[in-house]
Amino acid sequence: MLTPELNCSFLGMNLTNPLVLASGILGTSPSLMERMALSGAAAITSKSCGPEARAGHPNPVTVAWDCGVLNAIGLTNLGARAEVPLLRETKQRLAALGVPLFASIFAPRLEDYGEVARIIAEAEPDLIEVNISCPNVASEFGTPFSASAESAAAVTRTVRKAVSLPISIKLAPNVPEISRIAQAVVAEGADAITAINTMPAMLIDAIAAKPVLSNRTGGLSGPALKPIALRCVYELAQAVSVPIIGTGGVSSGIDAAEVLIAGATLVGIGSAVIKDGPSVFARICTELTTFMSDNGYAQLADLRGRALP
């Protein structure tokens, strides 16, 4: 029987499988990040941090829904300077396991992105993921930088000038021309694309006659997001030549295969960790291996981009 290989290369990093812990699922505890790696995550993305500490939105900030999770955490974080020692410890723990660390950053202003990137680079993560697309703080920060090619390119240019580390730009799904935005950030030095962030959405409590979340709207993740993520990855894979971290609604080996077939290099796992715990990584790897064996795929390269024209 064919035994497929799940190991892959991403920007010169050798990963044991294509699964990445997505940003924002867990806090900043180095021991938690290490646990995810020991459970099978081949790369770890930290929770987004910005220039200053943020308390986030008041509860309720998360609600489980039949087809996913709605959250409006509000970018809770300790601030970039306070995150550096935590990221350093996380990097040390993960490096011992051969697992790279991706550090996620955000900022309210264009010029802040460069400063946050410089600070976080002190922790020496393997990649900086630049979150320009958080959907639940627009009322505070204004229109997300991911909304246009021009603003997305400006952020990328600022971060690229600030650091020499690889950078991946995290794009939003609710834009008219995601491919054009991706091309713009790649032209400014993005080494990879993370696609996608959550989708702005709302749930209403009919009895109370008001939105469930205190912020009223939040970001939708989980199974309902997968068809949107697949469409975005599929379009991006035809528009840019840099690797894509396909994220959105993956909870099984078949889901992961679909994202790879659409053209992604790596697959982000988020809400499934909340639902099933750390063991979800090993389960998805087992299911992906079974799918590949049953369908004659010896390695991920045989699978990647098969749906593309």
Q: What is the pLDDT of residue 214?
A: 87
Which pTM value belongs to this model?
Answer: 0.95
Structural element, H or E, at residue 161: helix 149-162
Q: What is the pLDDT of residue 199?
A: 93
DSSP result, 111-133: HHHHHHHHHHHTT--SEEEEE--
Which residues are identified as catalytic?
134
Would you give the distance in Å from CA 192 to the centre of its chain?
11
Positive or negative: CA dihedral 73, 75, 79, 84: positive
- Measured from the Cβ of residue 261, the count of other Cβ atoms closer than 10 Å reads 20
Q: Degrees (nearest 5) of the Cα angle 222, 52, 31?
A: 55
Q: How far is CA 4 from CA 102, 291, 303, in A?
A: 26, 9, 11
b/e 12-31 (16+ beta carbons within 10 angstroms → b): ebebbbbbbbbbbbbebebe
List all residues 6 or more positions away from 305 whose beta carbon is below 8 Å from its beta carbon: 237, 260, 261, 262, 263
Could you tell me which residues are beta bridge partners of residue 199? 220
Tens of pLDDT, residue by residue, the chain (309 residues): 678 999 999 999 999 999 999 998 777 899 999 999 999 999 999 999 999 998 877 888 788 888 888 888 878 889 999 999 999 999 999 999 999 999 999 998 898 999 999 999 999 999 999 999 864 455 556 688 999 999 999 999 999 999 999 999 999 999 999 999 999 999 999 999 999 999 999 999 999 999 999 889 888 999 999 999 999 999 999 999 999 999 999 999 999 999 999 999 999 999 999 889 999 999 999 999 999 999 999 999 999 999 999
Cα Rg for the chain, rounded, in angstroms? 18
Phi-psi category of 19—alpha, beta or left, where left has phi over 0 and alpha has psi -120 to 50? beta
Q: What is the pLDDT of residue 64?
A: 86
Q: What is the pLDDT of residue 134?
A: 61
d(CA 218, CA 213): 7
d(CA 290, CA 203): 37
